[in-house]
Amino acid sequence: MTRRYYFPAIAVSFISMILLVLITISTPTTLSDATPFDFVRSNNLNGTVDLSPGSNANRPVGSIRFGTWGYCTTLNGTDSIGCFKHSHGYSVKLGSNPAQSNTEAQAFVTIGSSWTRGLAVHVVAFVAALAGLVLTAIPKQTIRLAAMAVNAIAALLALIAFAIDIALLAYVQTQLKKISSPKTMPGPAFYMALIAIPVAVLATVLNWLNWRSEKLDNVVTNGYEWEEANDGAKRGWGERFRMKKRGASAEPGSQQKVLDAYEESKAT
């Protein structure tokens, strides 16, 4: 079995899995702790308040980060982070601070669960990438096609998840402009999701090359065995032909002996 693409395929599949598992962990991991792996972050919210259920409406918000399982906000003017872990489909309601606006009316916007629920596709892509890594590590020719198919599914799911990330980024940027002048940008998980796509595609290609090289090796090996078998068959036919030839050359001698015996009997 060839090892030409075996270890590169394992290494690339492992990288793809690591990227997707870090995205799956995402922000936040607990009710109070945050990770740097968020998809969308907005700064310069200038005292916008969080009106979501369970949050502190009197806490002025300076920035917000969106993750797979929830979101985190920082206290305006500080680095104090508060995270709210809900589920894979959560909603965020932010409002302007009447004390810092020219009007007494409080405007608010909502990022609904329909825009955050799709982030769970990253989790499904991670599961597919993990299965692809396990199949890639099995050194059997019959498993190669399965590993290639699973890695291709992981790449497709990563592509779909990244499209959801783009939609969330555009929607958050549009909504927050209604109540503030934020600076909205992609988070680290956004770029990690982007990188995971070509990495998963490369893992698929390496699995295909591994399967193809092993198939060619088997064809070449079987070809040599076929030639040797044919050579042996040819030698067998040649030997049988020479035996027949020797038998044919021996027949005239036998006939001559019969004639000589007949002549001797006539003479007597």
Give the model's pLDDT for residue 50.
Answer: 85
Burial of 134 (0-12, 13-18, 19+ CB in 10 A): middle
Give the model's pLDDT for residue 99.
Answer: 61
Give the model's pLDDT for residue 55.
Answer: 79
Mean pLDDT by 10 residues, the chain (268 residues): 76 94 81 77 86 80 89 84 80 77 67 90 95 89 86 95 95 89 91 95 90 64 48 51 49 60 62
Nearest to 55 by CA among 40, 38, 69, 72: 72
Give the model's pLDDT for residue 82.
Answer: 82
Q: What is the CA radius of gyration of the chain?
A: 38
**DSSP conformation class of 58:** T
Q: Provide the residue type at 264 as one letter.
A: E
Q: Using one digit for the tens of pLDDT, what is the confidence trace for 123-141?
A: 999 999 999 999 988 888 7
Give the model's pLDDT for residue 16.
Answer: 93
Give the model's pLDDT for residue 19.
Answer: 94
Q: Which residue has the tokens 């007597």?
A: 268
Give the model's pLDDT for residue 229.
Answer: 47
What's the pTM? 0.73
Domains located in the chain, CATH noted: 6-210 (1.20.140)
Q: Using one digit for the tens of pLDDT, what is the confidence trace for 53-107?
A: 877 777 888 889 999 888 888 888 787 888 887 677 888 988 876 665 555 556 8
Helix axes 121-137, 144-176, angle to 10 degrees: 160
The Cβ of residue 234 has, within 10 Å, a number of other Cβ atoms equal to 10
- Torsion angle defined by CA atoms of residues 237, 241, 242 and 243, in that order, rounded to the nearest 10 degrees: 100
